């Protein structure tokens, strides 16, 4: 997973030029000797000039080395910026950060830790450093620092400024070994020749997520502060993104699970409710048939209420079952000819079309990738509604069209019916939500909820526009 280490190559041309210069200077010196010039002063002067040339060549080389060092760090930082942009497992972020920081900070040991606010514990997740030192440390401690958990003492964090590399006094002791006796810590510091400790926290907003500690060599201070801060900030961002993604994934998984549970619940409960309800309705109907007119008028009326309510409940339960079947019993997707599906839909609606005198027109309709029987259901619900919610005394005119957009086909079903008050446009897709009484327009308010569910199962979207008293247009998208 980790990218190759960035090599720093000396500039060959500079190296060659320098070797050449040294050769020329040596040659010049020899010539001066050979030609035994007139005065000693002249020889001295020439020698001084040769010496000056040598010095400036050395300075040039040093500048080149320094430039090389900077370039190496720039390359390293740019490589880590790219690498840390990838979705990495959290452990890799810690380990990679430790390795890269160690390369930037030279001889330092780098300890990357993770903070858990629920336990108030900091756990070392990655350590990088010179191999020899790490081996000695292992021998002295008897274990690796990785996995070591410790509680950050109060006040320690306050000196660690967010986004800033801060020196914490007391060396290793303050960092990781609070649980070891101070004498042991001092001994380790001494034997490993450890110098100062710098710490920089990973922060997410106000929250402290963990820290990076750079333990320098006794004889070397920390040189590349800016670069270290840059890298730690990069790693902090990667960690933050990583955690946000993990939280989002967990949320999505939980949502999916609870959706499945709900679906199962809706299916099982509506399925199981059917049986006792059927008994109630059947026996009440039996009562009605056998005893109608034998009891008083109120009793007949009451029986009528029970039968009506029971039958309505049966319809609602069947609707609920249909709703839950959209995803549980959905068929496979195939490339389908929507013209043919529409013909089938119109055949299913034939009586309604004839009774209402509706005129249905269409533009050419493309092929789409869909579950054919569900797509028929979508057309049927939308055209059925367009007929049902017609204006009195106005011939229903319904027009279907389609256009391609962003890999999807956007269908529209436009009518010249009663229209919908714009403030209710969102509500009509909610299960059992209706805008009219049952006596005026029959129905349970499930049609659009099922339609929406089908469209969403196809990865599409549905919405409506309307002008009350003029008509409505329903739009939905399906993959092309
Ligand atoms: P139902 O048709 O059983 O009432 P739907 O879910 O199909 O249930 O529709 C919900 C509500 O949306 C309807 O009660 C109606 O108020 C409104 N509606 C749906 N389609 C149209 C339409 N084409 N014109 C006007 N109102 C509509």
Comparing 284 with 57, the larger pLDDT belongs to 284
Q: Using an 8 Å Cβ cutoff, are 38 and 77 in contact?
A: no
Confidence at residue 154, expressed as pLDDT on a 0 to 100 scale: 53
pLDDT at 176: 57
199 close to ligand 1 (CB < 6 Angstrom): no
Question: Which tens digits make up the pLDDT trace of 399-420?
Answer: 999 999 988 999 999 999 999 9
Decide whether any atom of ligand 1 lies within 6 Å of the 396 Cβ: no
Report the share of the chain in percent with pLDDT over 90: 37
Q: Is the CB of 200 under 6 A from ligand 1?
A: no
Per-residue confidence at 153, pLDDT binned at 50, 70, 90?
A: low
Asked whether the predicted pLDDT for residue 171 surpasses 60, the reply is no
CB 454 within 8 A of CB 378: yes
Q: Would the CB of 99 count as within 6 Å of ligand 1?
A: no
d(CA 69, CA 8): 8
Mutate to test the pocket of ligand 1, among 420, 444, 476 (most ligand atoms within 8 A of CB): 420
Higher pLDDT, 237 or 454: 454
Ligand 1 pocket residue status of 434, Cβ below 6 Å: yes
Residues 6 or more apart from 438 whose CB is under 8 A from it? none
Q: How far is the CA of 258 from the centre of ligand 1 (A)?
A: 28
- Give the mean pLDDT of 144-158: 67
Q: Is 380 in the pocket of ligand 1 (CB under 6 A)?
A: no
Q: How far apart are CA 265 and CA 251, in angstroms?
A: 21
Per residue in 54-76, pLDDT tens?
888 888 888 877 787 778 888 88
How far apart are the CA of 475 and the centre of ligand 1, in A? Answer: 14
| Higher pLDDT, residue 40 or 120 | 120
Q: What is the pLDDT of residue 324?
A: 85
Give 172's pLDDT tier (boundaries 50, 70, 90): low
Looking at residue 357, its pLDDT comes to: 96
pLDDT higher than 60, residue 95? yes
For the Cβ of 415 lying below 6 angstroms from any atom of ligand 1, the answer is: yes
**Sign of torsion over alpha carbons 439, 445, 446, 452:** positive
Residue 271 CA to ligand 1 center (angstroms) comes to 26
| SS3 assignment, position 123 | strand
Q: Answer for the pair 87, 242: CB distance below 8 angstroms, yes or no.
A: yes
Distance, CA 371 to ligand 1 centroid (Å)?
23
Atom of ligand 1 nearest to the CA of 433: 10
At 180 the three-state DSSP class reads coil
Give residue 376 CA to ligand 1 midpoint distance, Å.
Answer: 18
Range 199-214 average pLDDT: 82
Cα–Cα distance between 383 and 282 in angstroms, integer? 34
Ligand 1 pocket, residue 443 CB under 6 Å: yes
**pLDDT average, residue stretch 352-358:** 96
Nearest-5° Cα angle at 59, 228 to 79: 30
Q: Give 44 or 397, the one with higher predicted confidence.
A: 397
**Cα–ligand 1 centroid distance for 355 (angstroms):** 19
* Predicted confidence band of residue 8 (pLDDT cuts 50, 70, 90): very low
Are 84 and 234 in contact by the 8 Å Cβ rule? The answer is: yes
Estimate the share of the chain in helix, then strand, then coil, as percent rounded to the nearest 5. Answer: 55, 20, 25
385 C-alpha to ligand 1 centroid (Å):
6
Which ranges in 86-176 belong to alpha helices (H)? Answer: 90-104, 131-141, 172-175
User: Do the bridges between strand 121-128 and strand 109-116 make them parallel or antiparallel, or are there none, so unpaired?
Assistant: antiparallel
Length reported for the chain: 480
Query: Lowest-confidence range among 10-19, 206-215, 317-326?
Result: 10-19
Measured from the Cα of 446, ligand 1's closest atom is 6
**By C-alpha distance, which of 123, 96, 98 is closest to 111?**
98
At residue 119, the pLDDT reads: 85
Is the pLDDT at 6 greater than 50? The verdict is no
pTM > 0.85: yes or no: no
pLDDT over 90 (residue 350): yes
Residue 446: the pLDDT is 92
> Looking at the predicted structure, is the pLDDT value of residue 26 above 60?
yes
- Is the CB–ligand 1 distance for residue 386 below 6 Å? yes
Q: How confident is the model at residue 458 (pLDDT cuts 50, 70, 90)?
A: very high
Q: Mind listing the pLDDT tens digit for each residue in 461-480?
A: 999 999 999 999 999 999 88
User: 381, 428, 442, 467: which to mutate for ligand 1, most atoms within 8 A of CB?
Assistant: 428
pLDDT given at position 281? 92
CA of 413, closest atom in ligand 1: 23
The residue among 232, 166, 172 whose CA lies nearest residue 203 is 232
pLDDT above 50 for 34: yes
Please indicate whether residue 234, judged by its CB atom, sits closer than 6 Å to ligand 1: no
C-alpha 333 to ligand 1 mean position (Å) = 27
Tokens of 338: 């929507």
Q: What distance lies between CA 390 and its chain's CA centroid?
A: 45
Give the lowest-confidence range in 70-79, 120-129, 297-306. 70-79
Using an 8 Å Cβ cutoff, are 443 and 371 in contact? no
Q: Separation of 262 CA from ligand 1 center, angstroms?
A: 25
Mean pLDDT of 258-283: 86
Highest-pLDDT range among 138-142, 296-300, 400-404: 400-404
The CA–CA distances, whole Å, from 95 to 110, 128, 276, 292, 447 equal: 10, 8, 62, 84, 55
Cα dihedral across residues 294, 295, 301, 307: positive or negative: negative
Q: Is 417 in the pocket of ligand 1 (CB under 6 A)?
A: yes
pLDDT tier, 5 (very low <50, low <70, confident <90, very high otherwise)? very low
């Amino acid at each position: 997973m980790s990218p190759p280490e960035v090599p720093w190559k000396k500039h060959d041309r500079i190296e060659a030029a320098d070797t050449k210069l040294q050769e020329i200077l040596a040659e010049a010196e020899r010539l001066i000797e050979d030609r035994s010039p007139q005065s000693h002063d002249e020889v001295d002067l020439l020698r001084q000039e040769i010496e000056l040339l040598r010095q400036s060549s050395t300075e040039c080389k040093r500048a080149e080395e320094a430039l090389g060092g900077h370039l190496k760090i720039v390359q390293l930082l740019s490589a880590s910026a790219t690498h840390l942009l990838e979705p990495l497992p959290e452990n890799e972020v810690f380990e990679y950060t430790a390795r890269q920081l160690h390369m930037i900070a030279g001889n330092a040991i780098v300890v990357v830790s993770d903070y858990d606010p629920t336990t108030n514990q900091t756990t070392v997740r990655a350590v990088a450093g010179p191999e020899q030192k790490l081996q000695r440390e292992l021998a002295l401690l008897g274990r690796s620092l990785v996995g070591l958990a410790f509680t950050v003492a109060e006040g320690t964090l306050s000196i660690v400024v967010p986004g800033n590399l801060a020196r914490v006094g007391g060396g290793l002791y303050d960092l990781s070994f609070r649980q070891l006796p101070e004498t042991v810590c001092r001994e380790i510091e001494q034997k490993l020749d450890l110098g100062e400790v710098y710490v920089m926290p990973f922060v997410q907003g106000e929250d402290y997520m963990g820290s990076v500690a750079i333990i320098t060599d006794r004889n070397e201070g920390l040189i590349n502060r800016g670069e270290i801060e840059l890298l730690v900030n990069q790693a902090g961002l990667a960690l933050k993104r990583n955690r946000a993604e993990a939280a989002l994934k967990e949320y999505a998984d939980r949502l999916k699970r609870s959706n499945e549970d709900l679906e199962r619940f809706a299916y099982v409960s509506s399925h199981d409710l059917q049986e006792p309800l059927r008994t109630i309705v059947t026996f009440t109907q039996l009562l009605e048939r056998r005893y109608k007119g034998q009891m008083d008028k109120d009793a007949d009326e009451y029986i009528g209420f029970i039968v009506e309510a029971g039958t309505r409940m049966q319809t609602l339960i069947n609707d609920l079952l249909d709703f839950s079947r959209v995803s549980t019993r959905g068929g496979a997707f195939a490339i389908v000819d929507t013209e043919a599906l529409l013909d089938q839909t119109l055949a299913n609606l034939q009586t309604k079309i004839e009774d209402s005198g509706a005129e249905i027109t269409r533009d050419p309709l493309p092929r789409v990738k869909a579950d054919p029987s569900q797509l028929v259901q979508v057309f049927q619900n939308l055209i059925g509604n367009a007929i049902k919610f017609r204006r009195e005394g106005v011939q229903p005119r319904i027009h279907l069209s389609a256009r391609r957009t962003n890999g999807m086909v956007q269908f529209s079903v436009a009518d010249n019916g009663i229209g919908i008050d714009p403030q209710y446009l969102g509500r009509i897709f909610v299960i059992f939500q209706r805008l009219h009484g049952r006596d005026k327009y029959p129905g349970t308010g499930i049609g659009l909820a099922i339609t929406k569910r089908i469209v969403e199962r196809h990865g599409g979207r549905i919405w409506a526009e309307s002008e009350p008293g003029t008509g409505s247009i329903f739009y939905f998208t399906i993959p092309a």
